Structure 1
Amino acid sequence: MYLKRFEIPHETLDATFSAYSSLISAHDAANWESSMISANKAVAITRRRYDEEREPFERALVQSTNALQDFQAYLDWERSHSHSDPFAVRTLFERAVAVHCLVPALWEEYLFYLFDKFNVQNALWDTTERAVRNCPWSGDLWAVYTRVLEINNASREDVLVLLQRALSIGLIQIRVDDLVKTLTALCDYEQRRIDWDKDGGVTEEEKAGLRATFQEMFKTIKQSFPDGDPYYRLEKYYAEIETRLGDVEKARKVWEEVVRKHGLETEVWLRYIEFERRLGNLQRCEKLFQRAGQPQRTLDWPERLLETWEAFEHEHGTIKSLHLALTRVRRRAMEVQAMAMEVQPLPQVGKKKKQRKQTAEKFLEAKHKKRANQFAKRAAKNEEKRKRNPGSEELEGSPGAKKSKQERNNREGSQESIESLPDADQEQQQEQPPAAEKEAAAESSKLNLMGPPSFVPRRQPKKMPPPTQASSETAAESSLDVKAGSSAEAAVAPVADTTTSVPELSSSLPFDGRPMTRFYTGQRPHAKLATSRGGRGGRGRGGFARGAGR
């Protein structure tokens, strides 16, 4: 036992060797030296294998905390190298299932290895029981358990009890695949119990029992899955069993039921045709090809059916049936080509739309990112300005700062315009009679209540008093200076700034409230406000209002 243990790498190899040495010293002291020499050789070989070959796998398991893929790589190496030890492989399998006990594929791999290398009744039985106890939802493991019972010559009652146990748990009914695998294993067991080669053939009792088993399996599947098995595995199996039992018509009925449910699947028709072909019914094969290849039947893989049909007609068909098959094949090829031409642009359109959408999303994302960066820079700049000037009310870039700055400029411009009015207008305001002053004040209050106007109303022309002799002489001298082109006098002559708001001018210029053709914005300077009544700045009546807009 110790010598066998020395051949298996394990962490306590030194302790095992010490225990073996103590045992030999106590019970076989005369042969202690020879025994220790042979033990040392075995331990040295084991250590070399462990250090040189198994150490990388063990280190990987430690680093990955016993990951399943690392166990799988370790198992593959243990089973593939030249000096593979089945006991070492089994030990490694036990380590793997101890950590990953809920992986059905690992248990199934372990059981197949035991089938191949050990085939010991107790080992197989115990390991299979542990597998289904840990993974009761796996149909593969229940099928393996059924075969283990059959290998160990268990009775039919034991097999049926196992099936009832699997169904009573209720986990194999979650997936149709697991349920079908479990029931197929039972059908395998039932049909293998029949001696098909015995004299006299199969008895009627055996036929009835086998058919009852299949019918019970169909009923069990329908209870959990009303639509049945999408791959019709038990139906194909049952059709073959009926053929072996000699009832071809019943087998054909099974296939007819299958094509009724899965008539749009090419594989179903081909299997049905193959069934008839093995029986030698070539005419039935030709009729089935014609049924499956009808233009109104939209199969999932029509090209494969038509290729098989054409090959069949070349081998077994007449000239008429071959011509019919070639016609169908050609027509179907044209239909497929037309459908391809219609359907092919659609993915391209969808692809272009998707690309445009992605481009737009990237553009918007870049735009938002740029705007966010601008806001961040502006906020940082305002923060620095606030730190430098704690008393500042408005910051750069804010709407309030722009608005307040514009209003401040307008107020300053209006004040300068008022201050720059000629003295002649101020004298006229002083000489204005009291009644006119009251009238102008009332008009100004109306305009103030209405708010700042967006236009300058047209004013009434004032009746000028008859000119005196001094004023006539002054006007004559002024006109002579203008005709002479005296640029110096023109430069010295005061020019009124017309940026004055309307309510400020209303005290000296009465308005009638009529709209004018051009809006007064108060931004552009206007030429010769003082001389607009008769000079070149005005045009006819209301020369000030019309000239102000130009």
Structure 2
Amino acid sequence: MATLPVGEDKWVDYVAENRRHANDLEKRVHVIELFKLAIEAEPNSVRVWRAYCEYFWSLYVDSQTPESGWTDEERLMGRELFSLNAALSLWQQGYESIQYRINDSHELWNQWISLERAMLAGTRTAEGIRRITFLYTDRLQVPHVTRDDTAQAFSEFLSTYNKAAWEETMQAVTAKSQEAKKLTEDRDMFELKLRQARQEGKEDIYRALMKEYLEWECNQSKRSNKHAEATGDLCRGLYARALTGVFAFDDTIWNEYVRFLSTSGTYAQSPHGMVDVLRRAVDHCPWSGTIWSRYILTAEDARLPFNEIEQIKHKATSNPELYKNGMAALLDMYAAWCGFLKRKAMDLNATDEDVDVADMGLRAALEFVDQAKNRYGDSYRGDPNFRLERIYIQYLTEKKRNLDEARGLWHKLAEKQLYADSYDFWLNYYLWEMMVFASSGKDRSPTPSTAAIGLRVPSVATAVLGRAIKRKTLDWPERVIDVYVQHCNDYELPSTVRNAIDTVYETRKEVAKRREREAAQAAEYYAAAHAQEQQAAHAAQSADDDSSSSSKRKRDDETETVDATANKRPKNDAAEAEATALKQQQSLKRDRENTISKNNTQTVMVEFRTPEEAQSALLRDGKYFGTAQISVEPGTDLTLTAAKS
């Protein structure tokens, strides 16, 4: 079978291309099968559902008319395959799948209801009127942005087909639809902003708004109120929009959607429903190890057959996208797979076959990862959390009782620098040895060295901690030292405790010197970084000063500013009138609206476009305006500031 498309756009194009060549009944049926696959892949896509319903309806119409060009045999079979009931049922199924997409669900609804009304126009049956009345009533109780248009269309429908019941029916529907109206109004702000961003082609803003909208919608659904069920449906509808649109290939949004479903509504109690969601998620984001891991875990929770879960693992490892971002995604997926194998083998009802499968599967997983890391060379050092090894060690310890092989795996890991320098690794190793020691029971003989005093000591666990504190490059030696001292005090012989104290004393001194060196290096680094920041800031300030000085010199050359001062006149009179006269007679570059008032005089600042115009204004110096004398002076060497409004 050919590789199937992924994503709404590609599915629509793919089916449309096949539809172009569907010139006989067999090919038309094939197109229907492709539409079924498209719906399975994109069950909440308005575009896919519309294309599917429109095509099926066209087949119904063509099967009824000889003018369609179909043969008699094709029309006969077509009437069975593409019946009216099947067509109408498909429209309803499509609507129910997308009804909570409040922004565009009307696109499919409007087509469906127009077909229903067109058929009623020819029959005008009471049953048909009741059916469409029910459809409108139901629709108006679902939030959607075109609810006013829907209400108007319903009103017109009643006026035409059931005028006597118009008032009673509209009152009842209005009362029932108040919740939907309120929910729609609460979301109008987001919808308006999204439409505006889309119309202006601002994709980044659109994505940011959609993320904000999703977060807000999720918060609404968590609130315990009378709208809880409706807001949950709306949140799923919004995720449907995002995951068939702008975030179709965004693994972060898919993961958030899965988390939302797993903690709310019927999906929380329906692992099978979650399996379908995760199947679509890995199709859209095959590079995400987190999604593959969740897919396997959910399939196990849904109790799918082993071969189906194994097929998920095979599908993951055979997809090259899983490897494009390094080993992390592969390890995430294999951690889930190995966890599944371990749990299946350790189940109380496990069969010998389950244990054999776990034996082979766990070893194969470790080998596969070991081989896969070769493609990354030195850039991959290993899984810091050694997840697969932990699972295998637990399996060997608890199920197989093979302590020697499990301990050998610990030794093998301890030889690698990634783990040997990790306090977390050594503490886990130590705790495992303590668990083995505790589970061995008192019936086992003590070690020969302690037999004389009859004391059982966890000498192997002690050795693990002793080996750890000798690492000069351990990331948190202080923590391991504390555990080592406490362990020896709790479990070891006096001689061992004495040796531990002496060892720790020297180790603490070495660690203190190491911390001093690290602190000095850190201080040196931050000092250098701070000096660079200051140097950059000084350079930027110098550039600003140079720019300001250059701008001032240029302004002095090009313009002059004059002061028009009216003496012995009330404010807002002579000086402002003179400034007005200057404006009317000269070509002003900028008018300084602010005035300076002092000692019953007023100063107005006027800036001209050219020095010549400023010189012309100076001729008014000493002139009278009414009873007030005007003083006009050049305003050279002034500092002008511009403020943003």
Deviations 1:143-179 (A, max 9, x none): 2332443344433222222222222221112322211
Could you tell me which amino acid in structure 1 is paired with residue 190 of structure 2? F
Identity %: 22
1:260 matched to 2:394: no
1:65 matched to 2:206: yes
Of 273, 284, 289, which residue of structure 1 is paired with 2:465?
289
* CA 1:26–1:109: 2 relative to 1, 3 Å: farther
CA distance in 1, matches of 2:477, 2:332: 30
SS in 2 for 1:172: helix
1:113 matched to 2:260: yes
Deviations 1:220-276 (A, max 9, x none): 212221454332110011111111212222222222222122222211110011111
1:240 matched to 2:390: no
What is the match of residue 514 of structure 1? none
Deviations 1:436-455 (A, max 9, x none): xxxxxxxxxxxxxxxxxxxx
SS in 2 for 1:300: coil
What is the match of residue 93 of structure 1? 239
With normalisation by structure 1, the TM-score equals: 0.59
1:176 matched to 2:322: no
CA distance in 2, matches of 1:377, 1:60: 43
Deviation at 1:349, TM superposition (A): 4.8
What is the match of residue 42 of structure 1? 176
1:219 matched to 2:367: yes
Deviation at 1:21, TM superposition (A): 5.0
1:326 matched to 2:501: yes
Deviation at 1:321, TM superposition (A): 2.8
What is the match of residue 311 of structure 1? 486
* CA 1:289–1:76: 2 relative to 1, 3 Å: same
CA distance in 2, matches of 1:151, 1:66: 34
Please tell me whether the aligned partners of residues 75 and 89 of structure 1 are also in contact (alpha carbons under 8 angstroms). yes
* CA 1:300–1:88: 2 relative to 1, 3 Å: same
* CA 1:352–1:104: 2 relative to 1, 3 Å: closer
CA distance in 2, matches of 1:113, 1:364: 50
What is the match of residue 164 of structure 1? 314
CA distance in 2, matches of 1:355, 1:348: 10
Of 264, 280, 292, which residue of structure 1 is paired with 2:437?
280
SS in 2 for 1:128: helix
Please tell me whether the aligned partners of residues 272 and 299 of structure 2 are also in contact (alpha carbons under 8 angstroms). no
Could you tell me which amino acid in structure 1 is paired with residue 337 of structure 2? L
What is the match of residue 283 of structure 2? 133
* Larger CA Rg, structure 1 vs 2: 1
Of 188, 192, 200, which residue of structure 2 is paired with 1:55?
188
1:302 matched to 2:443: no
Please tell me whether the aligned partners of residues 60 and 70 of structure 1 are also in contact (alpha carbons under 8 angstroms). no
The count of corresponding residues between Structure 1 and Structure 2 is: 378
CA distance in 1, matches of 2:541, 2:172: 78
* CA 1:27–1:275: 2 relative to 1, 3 Å: farther
CA distance in 2, matches of 1:79, 1:93: 13
Deviation at 1:290, TM superposition (A): 1.4
Please tell me whether the aligned partners of residues 222 and 228 of structure 1 are also in contact (alpha carbons under 8 angstroms). no
SS in 2 for 1:280: helix
* CA 1:374–1:211: 2 relative to 1, 3 Å: same
Please tell me whether the aligned partners of residues 266 and 305 of structure 1 are also in contact (alpha carbons under 8 angstroms). yes
CA distance in 2, matches of 1:121, 1:21: 43
Deviation at 1:112, TM superposition (A): 3.3
CA distance in 1, matches of 2:535, 2:260: 59
SS in 1 for 2:420: coil
Please tell me whether the aligned partners of residues 221 and 228 of structure 1 are also in contact (alpha carbons under 8 angstroms). no
Cα-Cα RMSD: 3.9
CA distance in 2, matches of 1:37, 1:302: 76
SS in 2 for 1:65: helix
Please tell me whether the aligned partners of residues 214 and 238 of structure 1 are also in contact (alpha carbons under 8 angstroms). yes
Gaps of 5+ in 2: 1-134, 198-204, 375-380, 439-457, 557-645
Stretch deviating more after TM superposition (246-255 or 211-220): 246-255
1:78 matched to 2:78: no
* CA 1:358–1:272: 2 relative to 1, 3 Å: closer
Deviations 1:485-522 (A, max 9, x none): xxxxxxxxxxxxxxxxxxxxxxxxxxxxxxxxxxxxxx
CA distance in 2, matches of 1:78, 1:107: 19
CA distance in 2, matches of 1:125, 1:172: 19
Deviation at 1:190, TM superposition (A): 2.7
Deviation at 1:210, TM superposition (A): 0.4
SS in 2 for 1:256: helix
* CA 1:275–1:368: 2 relative to 1, 3 Å: closer
* CA 1:161–1:378: 2 relative to 1, 3 Å: closer
CA distance in 1, matches of 2:180, 2:348: 53
* CA 1:21–1:185: 2 relative to 1, 3 Å: farther
Deviations 1:111-165 (A, max 9, x none): 3333442335775454333222211111122223324433444332222222222
Deviations 1:392-433 (A, max 9, x none): xxxxxxxxxxxxxxxxxxxxxxxxxxxxxxxxxxxxxxxxxx
* CA 1:177–1:23: 2 relative to 1, 3 Å: farther
* CA 1:59–1:277: 2 relative to 1, 3 Å: farther
Could you tell me which amino acid in structure 2 is paired with residue 258 of structure 1? L
1:150 matched to 2:295: no
SS in 1 for 2:181: helix
CA distance in 2, matches of 1:136, 1:228: 22
Could you tell me which amino acid in structure 1 is paired with residue 406 of structure 2? A
CA distance in 1, matches of 2:336, 2:529: 51
What is the match of residue 437 of structure 1? none
CA distance in 2, matches of 1:293, 1:239: 23
SS in 2 for 1:166: helix
CA distance in 2, matches of 1:6, 1:183: 48
Please tell me whether the aligned partners of residues 136 and 169 of structure 1 are also in contact (alpha carbons under 8 angstroms). yes
CA distance in 1, matches of 2:285, 2:182: 38
Gaps of 5+ in 1: 382-550
Please tell me whether the aligned partners of residues 75 and 93 of structure 1 are also in contact (alpha carbons under 8 angstroms). no
* CA 1:361–1:66: 2 relative to 1, 3 Å: closer
* Structure with greater strand share of residues: 2
Stretch deviating more after TM superposition (300-309 or 165-174): 165-174
Could you tell me which amino acid in structure 1 is paired with residue 221 of structure 2? R
Please tell me whether the aligned partners of residues 104 and 138 of structure 1 are also in contact (alpha carbons under 8 angstroms). yes
Please tell me whether the aligned partners of residues 341 and 362 of structure 2 are also in contact (alpha carbons under 8 angstroms). no
